[in-house]
Chain A
Amino acid sequence: MAVHLAPDKLADLETAVALVQPGSMVALGGGLSARLPMALVRGLIRAAIGDLHVVGSAHSIDVDLLAAAGAISVCEESYVGYEQDHGLAPAFRRAAQEGSLEARESCCDTILTQLRAAEMGLSFLPVHGVKGTDIEELHPEYSRVTCPFTGHEYVAVPPLAPDAALIHAPIGDRKGNLHIEQPYVLDERFAVASAMTIATVDRIATTDEVAAAGIVIPHYRVAAVVEAPFGAHPSSCYPGYSYDRAHLAFWVKAARTPEGAQDYLLRHVTGVDEDGYRQLVGADRLEHLTGYRASDQAWMEMFR
């Protein structure tokens, strides 16, 4: 929760990723098909930074890729998968079933409450639910607390203060001010509760431009900002580009076998840098993803 006051946080991806220590707790920004910090995820895998404890709400290919790379020891997300469209996350599921990763499943609202406890400097907060579910069994760190006013017994949860929040934004300035569009998901909470935020942006902009669009995460929460065009691909980063449904399907199909997952990692992650990744996906394909804004019809066709 420290503040970061350097006047210029602009960094390259390798330098930014190296701020994450092996074994640390990492909050993944965005969620599901939107604004996943994919360039940072690929950077972590290239740098072989592992033994990570990832936390967040509902996620997909970001966690799945890290799981395929063997980089996660504890997964404390509320959901990992591709919804009804592509179903379960193959690499995450395999690692959880083999026991090479501890699936310490949480709940979106519990994570939110724990981040708030960290933000307020409290040693615990109560949550309304969880009691009576088996989720409680996955978390020996939870406890029970009796309200001194009503006598009601709540599940008490400790603060959650990640070592680093990884966040992707469409624009940001060199100081680290970030603009993102709703849904912000937990990104604002992550940025405050974490020791530092490491950001990628599709484009570095002037402070005036970011301020005019609306600063959602202020510069003093951000330790490094990296310019990574299409850095959320294959998830979306509106207003820039929609998510790449075909690429998600391609990954999910490849990852059905451990060999397929490793082939993907070699070809799309460790064998290339971000320039190489974009070339592999193809300039035409990336351009196509920006075409959603032409009309409702064009947007719908993205998903057919």
Chain B
Amino acid sequence: MSYRFGLDELFVVELARTVRDAEVVFHGFGSPCATVAMHLAKRTHAPHALLIEGATYAVNPSPAFIAPSSNDHSLKRGSAYSMRFEEAFDMSIRGDMDLMFLSGIQIDAYGNTNVTAVGGMPHPKVKLGGGGGGCNMSATIGRLTLWTTNHRSGRCLVGECDFITDIGHRTPEGTRSELGYPGGGPDALVTELGVFDYPEGRARLRRLFPDVTLAEAKAVTGFEFAVAADLAPIQTPSRHQIDLVRAIDPLGVRRREFRPAELERSFSL
């Protein structure tokens, strides 16, 4: 009998693949997919990662479930030590954090993100929540995994962000090296359609989800992108990985990031 799993589960596995073993990993608030991915990586290929749990700043916790709010104390379970806010931020701006997950309502080809305002400021068409710590942390952290679950809308991967909240590889003021930023910037962008990397500081399509065509991805992307010579479908996950996603997030908080139609997508082993 075939083993079926949903897009949300495969998406989290793909995010988790961007974590390397024995590195310092952090995600911000409002990031359920990244939260689950971090714990999945820790329990599979990155057991020695130092995991800093969202807005609780708890070190290496093992929560019984993922709460819908990222500073709920349930996310501290099993952690013997929580960083102070100051310690976590100092660590990141000093450059001692290796990887951070970061999302954007708009994302451009260089990986700049907008989470401040659609239509720009000071007269926003939609005032978004805001960037949290991103506009400093994105400058200094070793590398960033960007993600969005809204690629298909055609409104997320845009030619130009209406407002730049967080730094990608280049802003109108210059490249990261011209700005003097030590962090490596975006290293991967995982969307519900595929996965990009940034070989020359610009998004390049690397993988597609098995039910997505290149033409579909191009049609909803607001910038021209290169395609990797070895473009291939996303690697099939193991049953163990999918089981772990379900065990880590029994409330299915990760699913709240997706439109209902995306949650209908399923795959099998």
* Interface set of A (CB-CB < 8 Å, partner B): 31-34, 57-58, 77-81, 83-85, 88-89, 92-93, 96-97, 99, 102-103, 105, 107-110, 112, 127-135, 137-138, 152-153, 181-186, 188-189, 236, 238, 242-243, 245, 292, 296, 299-300, 303-304
Q: Is B9 an interface residue (CB 8 A)?
A: no
Q: Within 8 Å CB of B210, what residues of A?
A: none
What mask results when residues 102 to 128 of chain B are scored 1 for a CB within 8 Å of chain A, else 0? 000000000000001100111111111
B129 near A80 (CB under 8 angstroms)? yes
B137 near A129 (CB under 8 angstroms)? yes
With the chains together, A131 CA to B129 CA distance in Å?
21
Task: For residue B160, give the distance in angstroms from its CB to the closest CB of chain A.
Answer: 12
B82 near A130 (CB under 8 angstroms)? no
With the chains together, A253 CA to B178 CA distance in Å?
46
* Max chain A C-beta neighbours (<10 A), residue from B31, B125, B179: B179
B73 near A181 (CB under 8 angstroms)? yes
Task: For residue A99, give the distance in angstroms from its CB to the closest CB of chain B.
Answer: 7
Residue of B nearest to A60 (CB): B69
Residue of B nearest to A89 (CB): B129
Task: For residue A124, give the distance in angstroms from its CB to the closest CB of chain B.
Answer: 16
Known contacts A34-B71, A79-B129, A128-B139: A108-B89 contact under CB 8 Å = yes
Task: For residue B169, give the distance in angstroms from its CB to the closest CB of chain A.
Answer: 11
B128 near A77 (CB under 8 angstroms)? no
B173 near A132 (CB under 8 angstroms)? yes
Q: Within 8 Å CB of B139, what residues of A?
A: 128-131
With the chains together, A300 CA to B136 CA distance in Å?
34
With the chains together, A168 CA to B125 CA distance in Å?
34
Q: Within 8 Å CB of B85, what residues of A?
A: 57, 108, 112, 183-186
Known contacts A97-B125, A132-B167, A296-B77: A183-B135 contact under CB 8 Å = no
Q: Is B32 an interface residue (CB 8 A)?
A: yes
Task: For residue A248, give the distance in angstroms from its CB to the closest CB of chain B.
Answer: 9
Task: Count residues on chain B whose CB falls below 8 Å from chain A CBs.
Answer: 67
Q: Which 6 A-B pairs have the closest CB atoms?
A: A81-B129, A129-B136, A129-B139, A83-B30, A33-B69, A296-B64
A296 near B65 (CB under 8 angstroms)? yes
B166 near A81 (CB under 8 angstroms)? no
Known contacts A78-B130, A83-B68, A296-B77: A58-B121 contact under CB 8 Å = no
With the chains together, A31 CA to B30 CA distance in Å?
13
For the complex with contacts A89-B129, A245-B68, 10 further pairs of A-B residues with Cβ separation under 8 Å are: A34-B71, A85-B253, A129-B138, A129-B140, A134-B165, A138-B121, A138-B122, A153-B180, A243-B72, A303-B68
Residue of A nearest to B69 (CB): A33
Task: For residue A153, give the distance in angstroms from its CB to the closest CB of chain B.
Answer: 7
User: Which one, B64, B140, B174, contacts A128 given CB within 8 A?
Assistant: B140
Q: Within 8 Å CB of A181, what residues of B?
A: 73
* Max chain B C-beta neighbours (<10 A), residue from A105, A138, A181: A105
Q: Within 8 Å CB of B93, what residues of A?
A: 109, 127-129
